[in-house]
Amino acid sequence: MLADAAHDTAAAVRTDWSRDEIAALFDLPFTELVFCAAAVHRAHHRAGEVQLCTLLSIKTGGCPEDCGYCSQSVKADSGVAATRLMDVQAVLQSAAQARDAGSKRFCMGAAWRNPKDRDMPAIIAMVQGVREMGMETCMTLGMLTTAQAAQLAEAGLDYYNHNIDTSPERYGEIITTRSFADRLDTLETVRAAGINVCSGGIVGMGETRSDRVGFIHALATLDHHPESVPVNALVPIKGTVLGDMLAETPLAKIDDIEFVRTVAVARITMPLSMVRLSAGREAMSDATQALCFLAGANSIFTGDKLLTAANAGDDKDAALFARLGLKPMDGEEPLRAAKAGARICE
Ligand code: SAM
Ligand code: DTB
Ligand code: SF4
């Protein structure tokens, strides 16, 4: 199976993965799986480099969606106060700080089901301003109309983040205010507008191995792989359905090894994509993060805060990079095309 699934990966980027093939990757002996993922990583990326990204919540809380993990849903009793959309200048100030701290990518998130047309001029000014600072831009604003996606493309937005979060069959247990198909529709709208797609999900929501297989399968069989795949470990937030579930059943917490397996399978099945070790690093040991980097993760969020939850923090990350001999990635996603024909795992 390893031969079928991974030996040929580099010859062509495959979008015809079967669930059985992906399940078989998950089933590999751990060391073999990580070895293979590391080989795929090396064939397409500079394996000692990790991109540093910064997140900013440009509109926090009061979201009408009911995502069971999220502190920003009106349904959550998390104590997160709802704010209005930030001023453009305040966003640009925050972006300048991120750039000065070494960040190469600035990701702006809004707690919306979808943006209103009257918000678009400010959103566009944010994209243009951050791009002028020389950082890669990413926005995550919920569902988009075709016209809104075209406006974002015109403004020069590099990526749009819109996660599928989990397997199609589990989706309805996590979120009821929209469907998995709605999510795919927006991804298609973004792709058609010519914006790079950032789509991933969350591991550790009490899902089964089969859900993790289904989650990766849904991404790896899109017509074009998302250029960016965030893999989040659930940050259990008090007052959210899933945070409270995890507090009551601590055994539901994701096993570190299974988390690394998920990163490795994402890397093998989507060899050219950036695989982003996103939420949940604050609770992860250096050793687990090191395994994630070995398994092909090549991006992290820096700083003390994600959108509402705590993050590892710059001091801890500087120490981690020094300890592991990792370098911040300079410039965008190297080697994607250059080594597309390289053989791996021989
Ligand atoms: N409202 C927009 C949307 O849902 O597309 C954008 C913001 S939303 C907070 C971005 C992503 O963050 C979610 O899709 C989810 O995957 C991730 N996320 C949110 N809360 C999380 C948590 N508690 N733990 C891990 N990931 C989380
Ligand atoms: C993604 O997949 N993870 C980031 C980013 N995309 C927008 C968000 C993580 C949010 C973690 C929970 C919080 O801060 O509230
Ligand atoms: Fe709203 Fe996004 Fe949070 Fe869902 S994940 S409640 S859509 S902010």
Number of Cβ within a 10 Å radius of residue 165 = 24
Domain span at 214:
19-323
- Provide the number of structural domains found in the chain: 1
Distance, in Å, from the CA atom of 314 to the CA atom of 161, rounded to the nearest integer, reads 23
Q: Is residue 155 part of a domain?
A: yes
> Is 345 among the residues known to form the active site?
no
Distance, in Å, from the CA atom of 303 to the CA atom of 98, rounded to the nearest integer, reads 9
Is 197 within 8 Å of 183 (Cβ atoms)? no
Q: For residue range 81-94, list pLDDT tens digits in order.
A: 999 999 999 999 99
Q: For residue range 7-57, list pLDDT tens digits in order.
A: 444 446 999 999 999 999 999 999 999 999 999 999 999 999 999 999 999
Q: Is residue 6 part of a domain?
A: no
Q: Is residue 302 part of a domain?
A: yes
Q: Is residue 115 part of a domain?
A: yes
Q: What is the pLDDT of residue 346?
A: 41
Q: For residue 153, what are its two tokens? A: 């493309």
Ligand 3 atom 2: residue of nearest CA: 111
Q: What is the pLDDT of residue 30?
A: 98
Does the C-beta of 301 come closer than 6 Å to ligand 1? no
Does the C-beta of 309 come closer than 6 Å to ligand 2? yes
Is 231 within 8 Å of 200 (Cβ atoms)? yes
Q: Is residue 344 part of a domain?
A: no
**Atom nearest to 73 CA in ligand 3:** 6
- The full length of the chain comes to 346
Q: Is residue 231 part of a domain?
A: yes
1 — pLDDT class (breaks 50, 70, 90): very low
Average pLDDT in the chain:
92
Q: Is residue 172 part of a domain?
A: yes
Q: What is the CATH number of the domain that holds 191?
A: 3.20.20.70
Q: What is the pLDDT of residue 105?
A: 95
Q: How much distance in Å is there from the Cα of 278 to the middle of ligand 2? A: 7
Residue with tokens 């020069």: 156
Q: Is residue 277 part of a domain?
A: yes
pLDDT at 3 over 50: no
Catalytic residue (one of 107, 212, 292, 345): 107
Q: What is the pLDDT of residue 92?
A: 98
Q: What is the pLDDT of residue 314?
A: 86
Torsion sign, CA atoms 9, 12, 13, 16: negative
Q: What is the pTM of this model?
A: 0.94
Q: For residue range 196-224, list pLDDT tens digits in order.
A: 999 999 999 999 999 999 999 999 999 99
Q: How much distance in Å is there from the Cα of 306 to the middle of ligand 2? A: 6
Residue 160's DSSP bridge partners are 139, 197
> Is 53 among the residues known to form the active site?
no
pLDDT at 75 over 80: yes
